[in-house]
Copies of this chain bind each other. A is one copy, B any other.
Amino acid sequence: MTKVKKRSNCPISQSLDIWGDKWSLLIIRDLMFAKKCTYGDFLKSPEGIATNILASRLHALEENKIIEKLDHPDSKAKVLYKLTRKGIDLLPIMIEINLWAEKYFSTIPEDRKAMIKEMKKDKPGFIKAMTKELEGLK
């Protein structure tokens, strides 16, 4: 993917310039809710992202400081991807997408349904706990 130019100063537009495509938020979902953190993990997700697209998205997200690359503790062959603070702060958006989807789609996986229940029960509490958890991953 070539460099995306800023289309306008609108906050929605500027946000979409970074993660407004069919794949970026799925990578963020993996990092956020599924605790996936390697290239291979992302590839295995059910939507089936193509490997070159994954590479280009990871690159773009890193450039935009949404994620960062770290050494994987298990092996030098592995890379550990992690959400930055800026990436973790996408959590409220991700929560609202989940809540909207839960209202309008009938087919939602059971484990995610359980998580959505938690989100609804205590949204600020969920955000705080999840944020702490994601910050903790080092």
Task: List chain A positions with a Cβ less than 8 A from chain B.
Answer: 7-17, 20-22, 25-26, 29, 45-48, 86, 89-90, 92-105, 107-109, 112, 116
Contact = CB atoms under 8 A, between A and B. Distances in A.
Name A's interface SS. Answer: helix
Given A12-B29, A93-B96, 8 more contacts: A8-B45, A10-B46, A11-B98, A11-B112, A12-B97, A16-B22, A21-B21, A96-B96
Contacts of A15: 97, 100-101
Contacts of A12: 25-26, 29, 94, 97-98, 101
A100 B66 CA distance: 12
A118 to B, nearest CB: 14
A106 to B, nearest CB: 10
A25 to B, nearest CB: 6
Contacts of A26: 10, 12-13, 16
A9 B110 CA distance: 10
